[in-house]
Structure 1
């Protein structure tokens, strides 16, 4: 059959990204406790398109993905991107994989077990000589306002917030480790199930540990600074304010290689 995509193109326009977006697909990702965890990811896959080709072969993205979806880890992502790059005659291949990741947690007093959902993301990019790989995780937390606590005679406003940690590292960092960094920096973690004794504990614990979004961002940054595996990071904290018609936000980025 005629290969229309490979027909020559005389418009001389280089396209940085062509590919597929928003593909929902079952994948298996690494899990610190159980080895692997099955989940459903939203996947974007791209290559660059040389000026001489009219289009790329979209079906080959999924063909390559089929061979690697059962083990999403840094080594296999690198192999997948190189295969994609070569098969599509591209200079650069990129993949973005976002998925829900579930961790079994115990309530703080009753010890009731329940799964908490975190949104995780893997970004990989591969050229002939350079491979870039970053992991991200969105961690729901509880923040209690230090200012509200200071000025109020009764209580203080508190709300859910989310911490996004994006990290590039020289060795494997588990999602669970980044989750722990975020939760330990908050007024309190959040839980899927809480009995009354747990609710009392979480409420009082948050009151004893008030945090601005700025506090959370700095606390997470300190933990990442102390982790020698981390080469680069970006921390974003967004609080869904309970008494304001806006969200509060803080962000910190650091390239540890440049600061050495």
Structure 2
């Protein structure tokens, strides 16, 4: 008995001839290699369906092409090679290919003062597209930091000043008395509010880069803000963090401007847009600021 040929339904003509912008798969589990780490990731892979007569694409061919990501370090060149394989396996059907990789980048971060260190994750999305021989790569990175309100700090200082006047108006000033007052809750009776905040960075990279500058971009952003959240800490680290917050008072507008200037100087960045969110501890709503450079109109 002759073996039956398996039917290829996708190769059949569509009953409704119409091209489609994107067809593919989302949430594909796979490992990727970055900075010597093998990282668990999820990929969205797809191509355009420009042949409106074709019923569908060959999704298994996209899936098999993703195996390249398991063996080689993530780079623009590797992403382009994967996308080219998407298109080569869909000759006559597709003119554009895209790949989106979601991962949590795990970095070990030192404490501010003590010899401690701990791990911190940074959500990252890598997006690549190849269309009509034009290739580009974009990164999305979330950076979490602390923000202390300048207005609240000023109001707190005013209350402390008034308390100082009230407590010492009728007595001579002695160094020991003032020092004790400064270390008491009676003296420092008000503190400014601060909150955990998030910077969401969306960056377009130059296609000439040899690698993906994820760590350098994260370092640039955290250095510009000055108050990245910590991992393992001792009391000396917590005190240093309080000092960093006091020296980096910022509204969301300040944070957005700091990041804008820092990212504009980052090598390999051709354009960006950013959004900072301060999850207010004073209000029941968030304070948000956005900025962009070389990105086009909103």
TM-score, with normalisation over the residues of structure 2? 0.80
Q: Which one of 189, 193, 213 corresponds to residue 232 of structure 2?
A: 193
Aligned to 1:249: 288
Aligned to 1:69: 70
Aligned to 1:209: 248
- Listed one character per residue, the Cα deviations across residues 121-165 of structure 1 (whole Å, up to 9, x for unaligned) are 110000232001112211111111111111223211111111122
Instruction: Give the structure with higher Rg (CA).
Output: 2
Question: Are residue 165 (structure 1) and residue 201 (structure 2) matched?
Answer: yes
In structure 1, how many angstroms separate the alpha carbons of the residues matched to 2:256 and 2:114? 30
Offset, 1:88: 2.2
Aligned to 2:84: 82
Question: Are residue 91 (structure 1) and residue 95 (structure 2) matched?
Answer: yes
- Listed one character per residue, the Cα deviations across residues 21-47 of structure 1 (whole Å, up to 9, x for unaligned) are 112222112x2xxxx211111211111
Q: Tell me, which stretches of 5 or more residues in structure 2 are unaligned?
A: 1-5, 160-189
Question: Are residue 39 (structure 1) and residue 14 (structure 2) matched?
Answer: no
Question: Are residue 27 (structure 1) and residue 48 (structure 2) matched?
Answer: no
What are the residue-to-residue correspondences of 1:110-129 with 2, within 5 Å? Answer: 110-129=114-133
In structure 2, how many angstroms separate the alpha carbons of the residues matched to 1:224 and 1:47? 31
Q: Contact between 1:187 and 1:211, CA under 8 Å: does it hold in 2?
A: no
Partner SS for 1:162: strand
Q: Contact between 2:220 and 2:266, CA under 8 Å: does it hold in 1?
A: no
Q: Contact between 1:165 and 1:235, CA under 8 Å: does it hold in 2?
A: yes
In structure 1, how many angstroms separate the alpha carbons of the residues matched to 2:269 and 2:33? 24
Q: Contact between 1:143 and 1:187, CA under 8 Å: does it hold in 2?
A: no
What are the residue-to-residue correspondences of 1:167-182 with 2, within 5 Å? Answer: 167-170=203-206, 171=209, 172=211, 174-182=213-221
Offset, 1:228: 4.8
Offset, 1:48: 0.8
Q: Contact between 1:187 and 1:210, CA under 8 Å: does it hold in 2?
A: no
Partner SS for 2:9: coil
Instruction: Give the aligned length.
Output: 252
In structure 1, how many angstroms separate the alpha carbons of the residues matched to 2:267 and 2:30? 34
In structure 2, how many angstroms separate the alpha carbons of the residues matched to 1:22 and 1:158? 36
- Listed one character per residue, the Cα deviations across residues 152-185 of structure 1 (whole Å, up to 9, x for unaligned) are 2321111111112222232345211111222123
- More displaced, 115-124 or 61-70? 61-70
CA RMSD, Structure 1 to Structure 2 (Å): 1.7
